[in-house]
């Protein structure tokens, strides 16, 4: 079933490009499991279905988009490699996807990136180029590398190939749990939620798609309220993967197809991480746990608009936790 409002060509990606991406990458990615918990269902008074992208290759959903981008290149483009700028999961994912095709990946990483995510890039043979922590430094450095090497720039989220690859999550999720009436998705630059929303609402026009966002990086909530992209001068959240701003390709999808943005505090994210560890027995990074934090939040639980959200898909988007910090805390 196709929502008449989601016309092909209206957005950077569509259900056709997403299904093409799924066919292109299905032999390279993991079809991640959907798990449930009666304990968490009782706690939230709803049926929850956790799509475990923390079990994806590279430890996060980002491998889907990266793989689609890498395998969309023709041989001449691929030979010169790819370049990106990323604070973590996209960097590792692109490195791994490039390695699988046998091409170089140049990865611009800000100096404040979590060590575990930098280690992943190195593990997957990505060539690390350091930048300052500002977006301008990241972008300028990546552009310089692209000019010098001829490598194709693969943006972390503002790219049709990336959005289409991330949308394959919905294709799988709605086959695995077709009863789902709502999907809660972490939001940052918007590549994940754009792909998820485009696919899900094309497959089931009645489905709700809600974004989960940390209060210290709530630009998406502000953008939805203002009707235009709002960028924040600075962000402050434990969820290091959710600090980016919406892009020109992702914003129209978020504006039109995301039903609401649920904003949560860092303390709620940490508690959701604890529940994932203790009850689901799944290692989830802060950005990945925010969907559970959102469904447990007072703003969601008490909102009459969502009283009929009974079967909720929650995307556990990544599991790359800097465990060094955790181990150090035990030693103190």
Catalytic residue ranges: 62, 87
DSSP state of 151: P
CA distance 267 to 122: 31
CATH class of 15-60+159-323: alpha beta
Under CATH, which number does the domain 62-153 receive?
Answer: 3.40.50.1100
pLDDT at 322 over 80: no
Question: pLDDT tens for residues 211-250?
Answer: 999 999 999 999 999 999 999 999 999 998 898 899 999 9
Residues 185 and 291: beta-carbon distance below 8 Å: yes
- 86-106 in b/e form (b: 16+ CB < 10 A) is bbbbbbbbbbbbbbbbebbbb
Question: pLDDT tens for residues 247-306?
Answer: 999 999 999 999 999 999 999 999 999 999 999 999 999 999 999 999 999 999 999 999
The secondary structure of 290-322 as a DSSP string is HHHHHHHSHHHHT-GGGTT--EEEEEE-B----
Residues 138 and 85: beta-carbon distance below 8 Å: yes
Question: pLDDT tens for residues 55-112?
Answer: 999 999 999 999 999 999 999 999 999 999 987 789 999 999 999 999 999 999 988 8
Residues 186 and 288: beta-carbon distance below 8 Å: yes
The domain ranges of the chain are 15-60+159-323, 62-153
Q: Which range has the worst mean pLDDT, 132-146, 160-174, 304-318?
A: 132-146
Q: Which range has the worst mean pLDDT, 35-44, 128-137, 172-181, 260-269?
A: 128-137
Q: How confident is the model at residue 2 (pLDDT cuts 50, 70, 90)?
A: very low
Percentage, residues of the chain above pLDDT 90:
85
The pLDDT value recorded for residue 4 is 40
The pLDDT value recorded for residue 164 is 98
The pLDDT value recorded for residue 115 is 82
Are domains 15-60+159-323 and 62-153 of this chain identical in fold? Answer: yes
Residues 89 and 292: beta-carbon distance below 8 Å: no
């Amino acid at each position: 079933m196709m929502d008449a409002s989601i016309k092909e060509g209206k957005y950077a990606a569509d259900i056709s490009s997403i299904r093409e991406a799924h066919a292109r990458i299905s032999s390279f990615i993991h079809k991640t499991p959907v798990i449930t918990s009666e304990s968490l269902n009782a706690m939230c008074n709803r049926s929850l279905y956790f799509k475990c992208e923390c079990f994806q290759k590279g430890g996060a959903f980002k491998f889907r988009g990266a793989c689609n981008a890498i395998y969309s290149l023709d041989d001449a483009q691929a030979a010169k490699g790819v370049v990106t700028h990323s604070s973590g999961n996209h960097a590792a994912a692109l490195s791994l996807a490039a390695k699988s095709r046998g091409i170089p990946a140049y990865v611009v990483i800000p100096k404040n990136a979590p060590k575990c995510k930098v280690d992943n890039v190195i593990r997957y043979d990505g060539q690390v180029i350091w930048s300052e922590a500002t977006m301008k430094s990241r972008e300028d450095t990546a552009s310089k590398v692209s000019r010098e090497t001829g490598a194709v720039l693969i943006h972390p989220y503002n790219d049709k190939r990336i959005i289409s690859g991330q949308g394959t999550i919905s294709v799988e999720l709605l086959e695995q749990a077709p009863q789902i009436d709502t999907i809660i998705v972490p939001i940052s630059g918007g590549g994940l939620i754009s792909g998820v929303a485009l696919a899900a609402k094309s497959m089931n026009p009645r489905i709700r798609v809600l974004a989960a966002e940390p209060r210290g990086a709530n630009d998406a909530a502000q953008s939805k309220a203002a009707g235009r992209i709002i960028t924040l001068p600075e962000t402050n959240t434990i969820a290091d993967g959710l600090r980016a701003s919406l892009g020109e390709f992702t914003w129209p999808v978020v504006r039109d197809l995301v039903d609401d943005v649920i904003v949560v505090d860092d303390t709620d994210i940490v508690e959701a991480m604890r529940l994932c560890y203790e009850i689901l027995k799944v290692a989830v990074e802060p950005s990945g746990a925010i969907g559970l934090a959102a469904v447990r939040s007072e703003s969601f639980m008490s909102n009459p608009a969502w009283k009929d959200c009974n079967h909720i898909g929650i995307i556990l988007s990544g599991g790359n936790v800097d465990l060094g910090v955790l181990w150090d805390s035990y030693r103190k």
